[in-house]
Amino acid sequence: MALDFIKLTIGRYNMFTMLKEETKQEWQLSPVDRCDRCSSEALVKVTGLNGDLLFCGHHYNKIMDNAVGYDKMMKFAITIVDEREKLTENRSKGKDY
């Protein structure tokens, strides 16, 4: 993350303002990716030895909140791509999905 300084003059006074450069989050899942259970937008991708599973936030939470489901998911998963932050990001931008 880079920081830039700009010179701001007010009257006879010189002031420096620090601007923070925003970094753009690059998402790996797109709106084309769909939940295997309900066809909503997939926000979580779980890769296992046998292939990939895609989940919307609701169905991923439902599995992970259940002790048996959590245990099975952890035995299956090699990698988990969790992009549920998209929902929070879109709400902060004023988008309501």
Q: What is the DSSP string of 8-37?
A: EEETTEEEEEEEEPPPPP--S--TT-B-TT
pLDDT single digits (tens) 20-57: 555 556 778 888 999 999 989 999 999 998 999 999 99
For the chain, give every domain's residue range: 25-92
Nearest residue to 2 via CA among 35, 24, 27: 24
Task: Give me the mean pLDDT over the 53-77 stretch.
Answer: 94
Distance between CA atoms of 24 and 80, rounded to whole angstroms? 21
Task: Give me the mean pLDDT over the 56-81 stretch.
Answer: 94
* Contact (CB, 8 A) for 3 and 19: yes
pLDDT at 28: 86
Reported as a pLDDT band with limits 50, 70 and 90, residue 16 is: low
pTM: 0.65
